[in-house]
Structure 1
Amino acid sequence: MLRWGEPLRCFVSCLRRHAQTRALQASAAYWVCAYANRQHSLGEEVTSDPRQTSFFRALTLSQGVLLILDDVAERSGPATPFKRIWCAFEEYVALSSRQGQKPLLLDIAAFHGNKPELLTDGVTEEDERMARQLGAGHPAGKVRGDREKYFPLEVLKAGLCLELEKAEASQEADRIHILNAIAGRALDEAPVRSHPSYTHVNQTLRGIFAVAGLRKVKSGA
């Protein structure tokens, strides 16, 4: 079974790594759109307004978003979600929430080689615990940097050139509605090719990958 190109076992491994790194309680839950929505009757789940969908409602109830990106495979990848408009919408909601009263964390995972790698939105409780255990000379920021330097290079490169406005959808209407929702326009208008909201999401995500890439180069990983 696949989720945007990666085997289910890799997807689950990324979730476990994320839960451990974020020091989540055993009762913590993940909302996974592919499993929460009935894929054979999406018309009942998805409305013309993206902000009236289960996707958006789940985001408003969440503490953050875990974006799982596939590595390079024989027939897919890397970073297939960057080519899907619903994933772009989730990224937009997470990043735009930072201007409100309930900012969402945005963490990014990828399975590489035989283990999951994780970029986190700031240092985590696990980073701080490790820093205390290692003692002087190992602040939480360094622990985080050492952890993130092994994130797969091909996924980082894909993140540096992402353009959400070029993402696709199984239904063209979804693509139109989401781009217009992001741009704050009437949903059924022809979407504009460029907009400050597109640029904000693109540049913010590229910045995350640029910092991780620089850390990787400096470490020689």
Structure 2
Amino acid sequence: IFSNIILADEINRTPPKTQAALLEAMQEFEVTYGDKTYPLDKPFFILATQNPIEQSGTFVLPEAQQDRFLLYIKIGYPTQHDEEAILKATTGTFKKKLNRVISGDDIVRLQQLVREVSISDALISFVSDIIRATRPETTTDAYVKDWVDWGAGPRAGQAMILTAKANALLEGRLSVTLDDIKAVALPVLRHRVLVNFRAEAEGITSDKVATHLLSAIQLKGKQ
């Protein structure tokens, strides 16, 4: 765990005790062993994969751990062009030489710069409206009440704003727009909105719930 980048391949194959051991590192950026606590070096982040097809011998990640992943990104098959490039690069004698393009200190500075990107109060309210509308016990949205078992918590709003800020910065802007929020809403909510059994039977996914809310909720005030 004492590395800058951790790749947990097929994390749902690890037993619950191992999964739970990652919680402190992901949230507090430290590890406690016995009566001692050891800080993790920054930058620090965890990437994890899950096999969406084979479920034998797997363990579902608890909601508390899923919530600590910033984004849930679905990666499908590559395009034909990309697949041909993969085949060409991995079946011959060519060996890719890796060159450092950025330092750890630079990444930490960029992470701070992301937080300095501005966002209007109207867009913050829009994010709050989206997050609160995912909760079936408090929302007035009939679609959510019918299909959702558990909604997103405050950490989802934090993730949506921070990733929207990062999206704006990557596009050379220093302020967030509504399009930035819409660009990150699905991967932010995908693992934080849990649909009920009836929704699963009908093919209603968390992506469909998020898409519905993005069209149903209107932005109030100026961006």
Larger Rg: 2
Question: Would you say same fold, with TM above 0.5?
Answer: no
TM-score by length of 2: 0.29
TM-score by length of 1: 0.29
